[in-house]
């Protein structure tokens, strides 16, 4: 990975941190994104200490807010005219329905629309990497939760009925649908797009979630895999030479796997693509 530029969102802990650290160990210049400036800087310092001589560069943004995503993307395009790897990893689950500054339900805004808008805003530096002979990759961290999700086009933001896990599963299904729709559009560009399931990982996920779901997750946490293990699939899909040119796939435990039937429905992919572009104010 020497000579490559990689960007990892949600990199201040868990899978995102371990993915960014792994890319730094492979010799990449790594940009990391988080919403807490102090925590972000501390994580960058830890990575540099763990990998002496590494180039780890922090960028602060709240990826649930579209204005912040656009501001971040402008900064990134100026700092990195060429981008070789984009790992969309930032995400969370929320036990109560809340709206972002854009008036969008927060799970959908962060876990799905954040991937869509940041990726589209960074296509130019990804195309520059392809034009320079690189093999740029987009890695969307989804979840096996997508198998339990469905896209409720009549109530996609849970205004009538909100359930934390239902909203999360729908957003993760959105990640896989977006992956397939984007891969189709970029097929001849030299840019690959894949989705990954990292496993059920012991991270900060759901720590601020109350109710029965939060209690159940707390009981499960000691039995979950480590973030380092969970990052292996993201790292493999971001860097493995044998995956050059592999696109439009869903990976679990490092290997391609068949995703849900709904995720493979091209009509649903296209309908969600159109809705997502409308919600982020794009016309790609």
Which residue among 17, 80, 115, 168 is the active-site one? Answer: 168
Q: DSSP character for 35? A: S
Q: What is the mean pLDDT of residues 272-278?
A: 98
pLDDT number for residue 227 = 64
Residue 109 parent element (H or E): none
Q: Is 281 exposed, middle or buried (0-12, 13-18, 19+ CB in 10 A)?
A: exposed
Question: What would the pLDDT profile of 82-115 be if each residue is shown by its tens digit?
Answer: 999 999 999 999 999 999 999 999 999 999 999 9
- Is residue 100 left, alpha or beta, with left meaning phi > 0 and alpha meaning psi from -120 to 50? beta
> What is the tens place of the pLDDT at every residue in 132-148?
999 999 999 999 999 99
Taking residue 72's Cβ as centre, other Cβ atoms within 10 Å add up to 24
Residue whose C-alpha is closest to residue 21's, from 209, 227, 205: 227
Say whether 168 is catalytic.
yes
Looking at residue 41, its pLDDT comes to 97
Q: Which residue has the tokens 């779901």?
A: 213
Q: Quick one: pLDDT at residue 47?
A: 97
pLDDT above 90: residue 217: no
**Model confidence pTM above 0.75:** yes
pLDDT digits (tens, 9 = 90+) for 144-170: 999 999 999 999 999 999 999 999 999
- Rounded mean pLDDT, 200-226: 52
The pLDDT of residue 14: 86
Mean pLDDT rounded to a whole number for the chain? 92
Predicted local distance difference test score (pLDDT) of residue 231: 87
- Model confidence at 284, pLDDT cuts 50, 70, 90, reads confident
């Amino acid at each position: 990975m020497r000579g490559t530029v990689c960007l990892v969102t949600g990199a201040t802990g868990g899978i995102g941190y371990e993915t960014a650290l792994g890319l730094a160990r492979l010799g990449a210049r790594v940009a990391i994104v988080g919403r807490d400036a102090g925590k972000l800087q501390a994580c960058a310092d830890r990575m540099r200490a763990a990998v002496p001589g590494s180039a780890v560069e922090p960028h602060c943004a709240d990826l649930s807010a579209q204005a912040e995503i656009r501001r971040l993307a402008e900064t990134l395009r100026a700092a990195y005219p060429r981008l070789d790897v984009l790992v969309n990893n930032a995400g969370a689950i929320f036990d109560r329905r809340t709206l972002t500054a854009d008036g969008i339900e927060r799970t959908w805004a962060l876990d799905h629309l954040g991937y869509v808008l940041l990726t589209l805003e960074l296509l130019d530096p990804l195309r520059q990497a392809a034009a320079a002979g690189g093999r740029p990759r987009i890695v969307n961290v989804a979840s096996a939760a997508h198998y339990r999700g469905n896209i409720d086009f009549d109530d996609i933001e849970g205004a009538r009925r909100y359930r934390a896990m239902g909203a999360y599963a729908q957003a993760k299904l959105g990640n896989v649908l977006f992956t397939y729709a984007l891969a189709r559009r970029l097929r001849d560009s030299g840019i690959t797009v894949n989705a990954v399931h990292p496993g059920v990982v012991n991270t900060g996920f759901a720590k601020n979630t109350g109710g029965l779901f939060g209690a159940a997750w707390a009981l499960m946490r000691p039995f979950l895999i480590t973030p380092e293990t969970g990052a292996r699939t993201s790292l493999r899909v971001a860097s493995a030479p044998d995956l050059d040119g592999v696109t439009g796939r869903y990976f679990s435990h490092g290997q391609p796997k068949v995703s849900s039937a709904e995720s493979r429905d091209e009509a649903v992919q296209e309908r969600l693509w159109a809705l997502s572009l409308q919600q982020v104010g794009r016309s790609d």
